[in-house]
A and B are shown apart, each in its own frame.
Chain A
């Protein structure tokens, strides 16, 4: 027996030295990512459960998501096509796509802020890769986008808007948005866990950004200030998904901006995540 640290028997004897060295932080962060990817069934199931449980017992279930977006599109489509004197057949498809993608981006960002804090209980009780929580949050929003996307063919049919082969470009566009959502959620999730002021600041900013980003108004209306819109990263993010579906050319810098954000963001997040990953359990 050991009393107050003094070994009385062989039990606490000399420390073995042939133990493997603890891997460095970068390796641990990579392993976290690899394990998170491996357990894709886990975060997919969690994300689906999030949606199912939110609507358990309601009549329409997750179709409420689609329904409320439809109402928003109908109302905004009517009002703003009048205000801007635009042809609804062109404006409503534009608005639909803009709103869907904006909702996706903004809810990925707000959910990203709570990616770790909202699962504080799980983080404190069971060891899971931290990336699982982030992937769950991004995937949940992708599922919601999927529910809303039902509206696209409906709106296009009603407005007599066609669709071409260039629409396939939405696939790389969406993939890039998801990758960006992934790093933003890690970064904001960690910052929010450590500094509780981050979520309200982000929420306030998003509200402003919605109105100053060409979501429901076109970048052309900026006239000679058009470049202000073209260089807005959120516009670029919307554009890479919206333009191909509308069959329109991309804004001049969209892919460059989104590409740069993806690479730059991943690098910054890699450094940050490696450095502070092990602190998340202490912060939440």
Chain B
């Protein structure tokens, strides 16, 4: 029974390295940055997520949408437990698998096969347990002889195939994906989508960030529209997509 529950969750990044004075000046005329703020010690903060309260339940395939810098990646990383919330709470039920970056845990000098094991290790799967899945992963990638070549020789889409297949070989309960599916060709995307739907049907949930409404419509049944770290709309995908398109048209 996978579920995610966010309660008044806020994530703020203190900016230490920035040139304080010029940034402070910029604060007064911030164009994009309504999420720039200052803390008690007058340090500059980016409030990437602001007081989020929402629940994602089993069976939900949530599409995250919003302009650049709206907090999509930050939300995924927080759900994955990488950033602990500055305030508020996150309650997670289920094993999280995060596919945030294709390169994660990959070593360009190691072969595809070796990288399957490496990625498994980073996901906390013992090499012995991972061994069982290797052949199945190799098959899913359809990379043929390339699987025994160093991954530095791979194209972006081949890399994506390997990463996706390796990350999903042990059935995830909560699957978080940032927008990197775009590199896949339509044959692979269809196959990946099928795999995802099977997972989600068997009591898991998925959150996927993308700028492509078209892709979200294929993959998701719910939408979450973020802007400046605030939830603008959350609900059935079609309705959220309508709100999103309307606000795009307004600006």
Identify the A interface with B (CB < 8 A).
1-5, 8-9, 11-12, 15-16, 19-20, 22, 39, 41-42, 45-46, 49, 53, 56, 121-128, 194, 196, 278, 281-283
Contacts and interface: CB of A to CB of B under 8 A. Distances in A.
A1 B233 contact: yes
A31 to B, nearest CB: 12
Contact of B98 (A4, A22, A121, A126): A126
B234 A53 contact: no
Interface residues of B, number: 44
Nearest to A45: B121
Contacts of A12: 53-55, 234
Interface in B170-201: none
Interface in B209-251: 230-236, 239-240, 243
Contact of B233 (A3, A56, A278, A281): A3
A16 B234 contact: no
A249 to B, nearest CB: 45
Nearest to A1: B235
B91 interface: yes
A121 to B, nearest CB: 7
Given A1-B234, A3-B233, A124-B82, A11 B55 contact: yes
Given A45-B121, A123-B82, A278-B84, A9 B126 contact: no
A203 B215 CA distance: 50
Given A19-B91, A39-B124, A127-B80, A121 B55 contact: no
Main secondary structure of the interface of B (DSSP, over half): mixed
B149 interface: no
| Residue from A5, A12, A42, A128 having most chain B Cβ neighbours under 10 A | A5
B7 interface: yes
B104 A122 contact: yes
A20 B103 CA distance: 35
20 contacts: A1-B233, A1-B234, A2-B54, A3-B243, A4-B233, A19-B5, A19-B89, A41-B126, A42-B124, A46-B121, A56-B109, A121-B101, A122-B122, A125-B98, A125-B105, A126-B122, A127-B81, A127-B98, A128-B122, A282-B13
B100 interface: yes
Given A124-B82, A125-B98, A3 B232 contact: yes
A42 B121 contact: yes
Interface of B: 5, 7, 13-14, 16-17, 53-55, 77, 80-84, 89, 91, 96, 98, 100-101, 103-105, 107, 109-110, 118, 121-124, 126-127, 230-236, 239-240, 243
Contacts of B13: 282
Contacts of A20: 91
B82 A126 contact: yes
A129 B16 CA distance: 25
A281 to B, nearest CB: 5
A281 B234 contact: no
Nearest to B84: A278
Given A11-B55, A19-B5, A39-B124, A53 B109 contact: yes
Contact of B104 (A16, A22, A126): A126
Contacts of B53: 12, 15
A54 to B, nearest CB: 11
A15 B232 CA distance: 19
Given A56-B109, A281-B83, A281-B84, A125 B100 contact: yes
A61 to B, nearest CB: 14
Contacts of B236: 1
Nearest to B103: A121
Nearest to B223: A1
A278 B105 CA distance: 22
A4 B216 CA distance: 21
A122 B80 CA distance: 13
B235 A2 contact: yes
A3 B227 CA distance: 12
Contacts of A2: 54, 231, 233-235
Given A2-B233, A19-B91, 16 more contacts: A1-B233, A1-B234, A1-B236, A4-B230, A15-B7, A19-B7, A39-B124, A49-B107, A125-B104, A126-B105, A127-B80, A127-B82, A127-B98, A196-B17, A282-B13, A283-B16
B234 to A, nearest CB: 5
Contact of B239 (A1, A41, A124): A1
Given A11-B55, A15-B7, A53-B109, A126 B232 contact: no
